[in-house]
Amino acid sequence: MHAVREWLRDASSIAVLTGAGVSAESGVPTFRGSNGLWKQYRAEDLATPGAFARDPKLVWEWYDWRRSLIAQAKPNPGHYALAKAEARARKFTLITQNVDGLHELAGSRKVLRLHGSIWMLRCLDCQSEREDRRIPLPEIPPRCECGGTLRPGVVWFGEALPAKIWQDAEIAARHSDLFLLIGTSAIVYPAAGLASIAKSSGARVVEINIAESGLSDTIDEFLQGPSGELLPQLIA
Ligand code: BJW
Ligand code: ZN
């Protein structure tokens, strides 16, 4: 903990990758682990274009349920600590896999959302995008004015990440001298690969998680515990 505090203070460029674990203490369920199931489905069963094509109603019910939980959620001390770290740092890039928008609500300014936003809807026919925060949605699946079916504006398995956002994330990881990997199982690529990109470019990599992840062997320092407690201690 002490060493990491010094690394944070001395770093000239910090990149952070967050996952569902940073929002767990805000009451947003993670994808994997004990509370990672909705009904009997895993994220891999629902977060795919194929699942949506087969049963858009089922997939939308999952998103509608998550949207209602996220709408009630507030940023936790971990989100606020990261916003504070950004304000203090020379160079700081927050990269998130989360679609909940809690980093922005906590005051983080530069957020690269790799997997989109749960509040954006996109038409399968005309491709137009809009923000829609209504809960519950009046109709499931929701429809575009053009008559097409709307889908959540997120990135599913097998889909490419938004190109410019991914490019910026890769550059931030490559140029960072300190990389924080927080609250992610680090099994979903290409996001998880950012830690290796940072490491092979010479950055120190620090992981914060309640449990070891797939990448814990490769990092410089593992801080075990809830990010809502550890981050405020690191960024006091
Ligand atoms: C705490 C805590 C507390 C709990 N404090 N910690 C090999 C290489 C490259 C790719 C692949 C590959 N093999 C397979 C692939 C493809 C695939 C993939 O990675 N699959 C793996 C499962 C193997 N990847 C893709 O398909 C990606 N696209 C792609 O590769 O495109 C290629 C392409 C190029 C060009 C054209 C076309 C295609 C896309 C991946 C999209 C992932 N989407 C989802 C859904 C987003 C929308 C939504 O939210 O509904 O993203 S799936 C889901 O997993 C979501 C998350 O962002 C993502 C990661 O999950 P995360 O955040 O790590 O959550 P958990 O639950 O897994 O972990 C929580 C962690 O928190 C745990 O470690 C806990 O211990 C911890 N924790 N409480 C701190 N209080
Ligand atoms: Zn449309």
Q: How far is the CA of 186 from the centre of ligand 1 (A)?
A: 7
Ligand 1 pocket by Cβ (under 6 Å): 19-21, 24-25, 30-33, 36, 43, 47, 97, 99, 115, 154-160, 183-185, 187-190, 209-211, 213, 226-228
Measure the CA–CA gap between 147 and 150, rounded to whole angstroms: 9
What ligand 1 atom has the least distance to the C-alpha of 115? 46
* 2-27+75-115+161-235 to CATH, choices 3.40.50.1220, 3.40.1190.20, 3.20.20.70, 3.30.420.10: 3.40.50.1220
Ligand 1, atom 25, residue with closest C-alpha:
157
Ligand 1, atom 57, residue with closest C-alpha:
97
- Provide the token pair at 106: 């906590």
Ligand 1, atom 39, residue with closest C-alpha:
157
- pTM exceeds 0.95 for this model: yes
Burial 45-58 (b: 16+ CB within 10 A, else e): bbbbeebbeeebeb
Q: Which ligand is nearest to the CA of 182?
A: 1
Measure the CA–CA gap between 69 and 228, rounded to whole angstroms: 18
Q: Which ligand is nearest to the CA of 126?
A: 2
Q: How far is the CA of 156 from the centre of ligand 1 (A)?
A: 9
115 an active-site residue?
A: yes
Among 2, 79, 103, 115, the active-site one is 115
Nearest to 56 by CA among 148, 186, 193: 148
Output the pLDDT for position 188: 97
Output the pLDDT for position 164: 98
* pLDDT tens-place string over residues 35-62: 677 888 999 999 999 999 999 999 999 9
pLDDT in tens, the chain (236 residues): 899 999 999 999 999 999 999 999 999 999 997 667 788 899 999 999 999 999 999 999 999 999 999 999 999 999 999 999 999 999 999 999 999 999 999 999 999 999 999 999 999 999 999 999 999 999 999 999 999 999 999 999 999 999 999 999 999 999 999 999 999 999 999 999 999 999 999 999 999 999 999 888 889 999 999 999 999 999 98
Ligand 1, atom 10, residue with closest C-alpha:
189
* pLDDT tens-place string over residues 162-183: 999 999 999 999 999 999 999 9
Pocket test for ligand 1, best of 23, 31, 70, 120 (most atoms within 8 A of CB): 31
Q: Taking the domains of the chain in order of start, what are their residue ranges?
A: 2-27+75-115+161-235, 36-72+123-154
CATH homologous superfamily of domain 36-72+123-154? SIR2/SIRT2 'Small Domain' (3.30.1600.10)
Output the pLDDT for position 202: 97
Distance of CA 50 to the CA centre of its chain: 22
Ligand 1, atom 13, residue with closest C-alpha:
189
Output the pLDDT for position 218: 86
